[in-house]
Structure 1
Amino acid sequence: MTEKLYYQDSYLSEFEAEVLSCVPKGNKYEVVLSRTAFFPEGGGQTADTGVLVSGQQRIQVLDVQEKDGVVLHETDGLLEVGAVVQGELNFQERFLKMQEHTGEHIISGIVHRRFGYQNVGFHLGKEEVTMDYDGPLTEEELRQIEYEANRAVAENIPIVILEPSKEELPHIFYRSKMEIEGQVRIVQIPGYDSCACCAPHVKTTGSVGMIKITGAIRYKGGMRLSLHCGFRALSDYREKEASVKQISNRLSAKQEEVVCAVKRLEEELAALKEKNKRLQEQLVKAALKEEEQKLLENPVANLLLFAEEMDPAAMRNFVNEAMEKTDGICGVFVGSKEQGFRYVLGKKDGSICSIGKCLNEAFEGKGGGKPPMIQGSLKGNPEAIRGFLEKE
């Protein structure tokens, strides 16, 4: 059994220990120490990282797992059995996790007390913290939960760790997602939460810092919340603040007015789209009118249009209207001979699929569809494409 220093002092960042074993594991090594402050992966939280120092060696601790009470350190180097090493945690990473894990306890305790929902899932990774609850929450309820959680931080409540005996345990209320064998470790935040948990936590709620719910989505009939606390909440705020500043500058609007500015921009964009739609319709009609003389001379002539720009709806409209005027091949090609063309082709008699296949083979194209209309892309110049289709 490894002596688990992280339970004795969650703020311990350096320690000494003896190397009990070191065995190869692929291109890494699995090291067992007599004692450790490295917390292994567990309780929804990823493992601590850091280094083991032996003489001039600085061996990286890449992952930590626990098996049958023994803590296994995955390292990138070999250590001599019997050597005394100095362990150094990446304590900044550890402290961020303790802030966020303790913040999760506060939120989950409030959700359980106010709504009776259970925390049925928890993940604390390097980039994201998520909590899953088995019931829905409204936007207003989430604001209230967040406010109460930050009030708990302001109260700076000492966090209590209990390891009750089997006789004491039935008399203690605590949340747990599973049946626990052996010694139960309970993390209590008086007035807010009591939960079985194996992970290290900060010593007082004040050390959690600001608690911010950053996302909420419906998930498996309940709710999945995203959370940031303390320094991660500060980092998240700075990133979003930088984004708002950039948007503000680009829209020439005050930061507090960017939503209104974006709405105005959306209205302008919608108006431009409507104008573009009308212009595209006029383009289609004008293009078909130009082809009327050709149809007088040959009622089954191909009607083909080449354009630099046209939206997909207008392309399909052209082909649909052209098929009403001729039994020939109807098509529109948008692009350039340098960049290639997007195309839509149609033909009344249903032979357009075989024509499209031949066209793609001849001009490095791809695409398909169902009669009477297909679409795709190809490369070539307009004259060659026209000439090819005149032979079909």
Structure 2
Amino acid sequence: MQTEKLYDLDGYCRSFTAKVLSCEPLADAKKRKDGAAYGVVLDRTAFFPEGGGQTADTGNLGNACVLDVQEINGEIVHLVDVPLPAGEEMEAELNWEERFRKMQNHTGEHLISGIVHSQFGYDNVGFHLGTDGVTVDFSGVLTHAELEFVEYIANRVVGLNVPVTISYPSPEECSKMDYRSKLELTENIRIVTIEGWDVCACCAPHVSQTGAVGGIKILSAENWKGGVRIHMLCGLDARDDYQKRLEQTVRISNLLSCKQLEAADAVERVMKASQAEREETGKLRRALLDMKTAALQETDGNLVIFEDLLDQNSLRSLVNAGTAMAGGVCAGFQGNDADGYRYIIGSRNVKLREWAKAFNGALNGRGGGSDDMIQGTVKADADAIRAYFA
């Protein structure tokens, strides 16, 4: 017995009663991460199975949670967490918030694809609707301005609230129709029509009028296999995304004491000022490095340097210079007694890789390197470090 697909003609069916035709344990239950353990087939269902680039509906069936829905060997199988008795009638309810958001996004995608096809002649060659939004691939490249135009027209159509209808034309009728389809279909063709804007073969639930889409926003676009891939959101998902972006803009504008619509300019000014300060700091560090290098004195013993004003690369350069002047080792340290010190140690005469074992053991350190140079950290105070090298 084939399951009646309630979602085919009524995408707004959110609760229904159905008979359990079969309930079988899932062979891969232990491997699944969603907790599904049984596959249930019903005589009728409003749960849309995964397919056509769209994820499956979820919800409740009797006392079971519907965690996934798949079409397997022509059967719609509801993957649930607990077994259900075959032959019994069950009350079922979809996760309506989740389903409605998918309907908004899917109808919005049809509208965008229809406008792209009619205005630019490009085909929709890839589609995915998941928890992170909608991805659509088109067969040709669209500029930023062209995508803005498409988005503007799509939102105007949303405002017009035109009907979205479902039909099952005969093969003869289909042969005379101009409709979008990725596959060569010959029978049971389900056509979704956005009156005046798009005609497309599709198996998924849709809203009944474009006004229910609620708004369309193209978030980004990238070149993709000779065409373009866009990322978009519609309706409640678009609103949620806008809210998150607005909160970020408000935070930035508050931090920079600027108007929200001037936040980007304010950030740019801060970045330029920061870059100028980094360049000036770099000049000062180079000058300080030159001074510190010039102040080094040749010794037959060890050179020990504590220097927090230099960055790590500059400290390494200073240690390199000191290594040439020390008969023992040249050791550079940065940090403080409370948190410990980072070290860079070089030598021309001491095999440091082996030497580091005793050094780290004595000063509660960790690190290593080559025979010529080692680096790491120690948990000891400055007096203890100086005493070790005395």
TM-score bracket relative to the smaller structure:
0.7 to 0.9
Residues 290-369 of structure 1 mapped to structure 2, 5 A cutoff: 290-292=295-297, 295=298, 298=299, 301-308=301-308, 310-323=310-323, 325=325, 329-347=329-347, 363-366=364-367, 368=369
Quick one: structure 1 residues 326 and 364, their matched pair in 2 at CA, closer, same or farther if it must change by over 3 Å?
closer
1:46 to 43, 52, 55: 55
Question: Could you tell me how far apart the structure 2 residues matched to 1:377 and 1:217 are?
Answer: 45
Q: What letter matches 2:147 in structure 1?
A: L
* Structure 2 residue 14 is matched with structure 1 residue 5: no
Question: Could you tell me how far apart the structure 1 residues matched to 2:209 and 2:24 are?
Answer: 39
Deviates more, 1:353-362 or 1:305-314: 353-362
Q: What letter matches 2:12 in structure 1?
A: Y
CA contact (8 A) 1:186 1:195 kept: yes
Question: Could you tell me how far apart the structure 1 residues matched to 2:228 and 2:259 are?
Answer: 34
CA contact (8 A) 2:307 2:315 kept: no
CA contact (8 A) 2:47 2:57 kept: yes
Question: Could you tell me how far apart the structure 2 residues matched to 1:206 and 1:273 are?
Answer: 52
Q: What letter matches 1:130 in structure 2?
A: T
Question: Could you tell me how far apart the structure 2 residues matched to 1:181 and 1:329 are?
Answer: 83
Aligned CA-pair RMSD: 2.9
CA contact (8 A) 2:353 2:368 kept: no
> Post-superposition shift, 1:212?
0.4
**Which position in structure 2 is the counterpart of 1:229?**
234
Quick one: structure 1 residues 11 and 319, their matched pair in 2 at CA, closer, same or farther if it must change by over 3 Å?
same
**Which position in structure 2 is the counterpart of 1:29?**
38
CA contact (8 A) 2:52 2:203 kept: yes
CA contact (8 A) 2:9 2:166 kept: no
Question: Could you tell me how far apart the structure 1 residues matched to 2:10 and 2:107 are?
Answer: 15
Quick one: structure 1 residues 330 and 29, their matched pair in 2 at CA, closer, same or farther if it must change by over 3 Å?
same
Q: What letter matches 1:5 in structure 2?
A: L
> Post-superposition shift, 1:147?
0.9
Q: What is the SS of the residue equivalent to 2:83?
A: coil
**Which position in structure 2 is the counterpart of 1:118?**
123
Q: What is the SS of the residue equivalent to 1:168?
A: helix
> Post-superposition shift, 1:322?
3.5
Deviates more, 1:62-71 or 1:183-192: 183-192
CA contact (8 A) 2:296 2:322 kept: no
Question: Could you tell me how far apart the structure 2 residues matched to 1:182 and 1:271 are?
Answer: 68
The aligned length equals 380
> Post-superposition shift, 1:307?
3.2
**Which position in structure 1 is the counterpart of 2:18?**
17
Question: Could you tell me how far apart the structure 2 residues matched to 1:101 and 1:338 are?
Answer: 58
What stretches of structure 1 of length at least 5 have no aligned partner? none
* Structure 2 residue 218 is matched with structure 1 residue 213: yes
2:132 to 115, 127, 132: 127
> Post-superposition shift, 1:379?
4.2
1:262 to 263, 267, 284: 267
> Post-superposition shift, 1:104?
0.9
Q: What is the SS of the residue equivalent to 1:93?
A: helix
Q: What letter matches 1:67 in structure 2?
A: I
Quick one: structure 1 residues 318 and 33, their matched pair in 2 at CA, closer, same or farther if it must change by over 3 Å?
same
What is the TM-score with the length of structure 2 in the denominator? 0.85
Q: What is the SS of the residue equivalent to 1:167?
A: helix
Q: What is the SS of the residue equivalent to 1:237?
A: helix
Q: What is the SS of the residue equivalent to 1:216?
A: strand
* Structure 2 residue 303 is matched with structure 1 residue 287: no
**Which position in structure 1 is the counterpart of 2:278?**
273
Question: Could you tell me how far apart the structure 2 residues matched to 1:116 and 1:371 are?
Answer: 67
Aligned identity (percent) is 46
> Post-superposition shift, 1:166?
3.0
Question: Could you tell me how far apart the structure 1 residues matched to 2:126 and 2:86 are?
Answer: 39
Question: Could you tell me how far apart the structure 2 residues matched to 1:114 and 1:168 are?
Answer: 25
Residues 69-84 of structure 1 mapped to structure 2, 5 A cutoff: 69-84=74-89
**Which position in structure 2 is the counterpart of 1:197?**
202
Q: What is the SS of the residue equivalent to 2:171?
A: coil
CA contact (8 A) 1:359 1:365 kept: no
What stretches of structure 2 of length at least 5 have no aligned partner? 30-34
Q: What letter matches 2:38 in structure 1?
A: Y
Q: What is the SS of the residue equivalent to 1:147?
A: helix
Question: Could you tell me how far apart the structure 2 residues matched to 1:177 and 1:347 are?
Answer: 69
CA contact (8 A) 1:287 1:305 kept: no
CA contact (8 A) 1:2 1:69 kept: no
**Which position in structure 1 is the counterpart of 2:32?**
none
Question: Could you tell me how far apart the structure 2 residues matched to 1:256 and 1:240 are?
Answer: 12
Deviations 1:233-284 (A, max 9, x none): 1111111112211222222212122222212222222232223223323432
Deviations 1:344-377 (A, max 9, x none): 4444579566656775677542354x78656544
